[in-house]
Amino acid sequence: MPIDDVQLSKFLSLVRHHKPDVIGLVLDSQGWAGIDDPLVKANAAGTKFGREDLLRIVAESDKKRFSLSPDADRIRAAGQRHGKPHIFKVDAAVMHARGFKFCRADNGVWLTDTVPPEYLVPVTNE
């Protein structure tokens, strides 16, 4: 029996974020699965939907729960992180003094082509 978009989005969130084993979905080390894997596994488990449904849910989701690979062959939960987060401060003043060029985007964010590692300073909670 086909399911509606809300049910499908919730089902995909459950499978991608929390319980891929519910349908036997295997994720790689970065949390990716082939785009057809959830289709085949879910359909075999009784949840019927097609590739078009999946792509529509990903494209139209206001919460942006999923990411597609650039070639649209793989899918993963958006914002999925592995390991401990690290926060760095960019020593932009020194970079600028050494000739690095910066520009300010329309949204107020400062941009540069590259930030070599020697200009990254770890931020700690001390």
- pLDDT value at position 83? 59
Query: What's the CA angle centered on 21, arms 57 and 69, to 5 degrees?
Result: 40
- Asked if 48 and 3 touch (Cβ cutoff 8 Å), the reply is yes
Q: How many CB atoms lie within 10 A of CB 36?
A: 13
23 and 66, same domain (yes or no): yes
Q: Is the pLDDT of residue 1 over 60?
A: no
Model pTM greater than 0.85? no
14 and 72, same domain (yes or no): yes
82 is a domain residue: no
> For the domain that residue 33 is a member of, what is the CATH number?
1.10.10.970
Q: Is the pLDDT of residue 53 over 70?
A: yes
Domain that includes residue 55, residue range: 5-77
Which of the two residues, 64 and 98, has the higher pLDDT score?
A: 98
CA-based nearest residue to 59, from 12, 23, 18: 12
DSSP 35: T
With cut-offs at 50, 70 and 90, classify the pLDDT of residue 116. Answer: very high
83 is a domain residue: no
With cut-offs at 50, 70 and 90, classify the pLDDT of residue 112. Answer: very high
- Asked if 54 and 61 touch (Cβ cutoff 8 Å), the reply is no
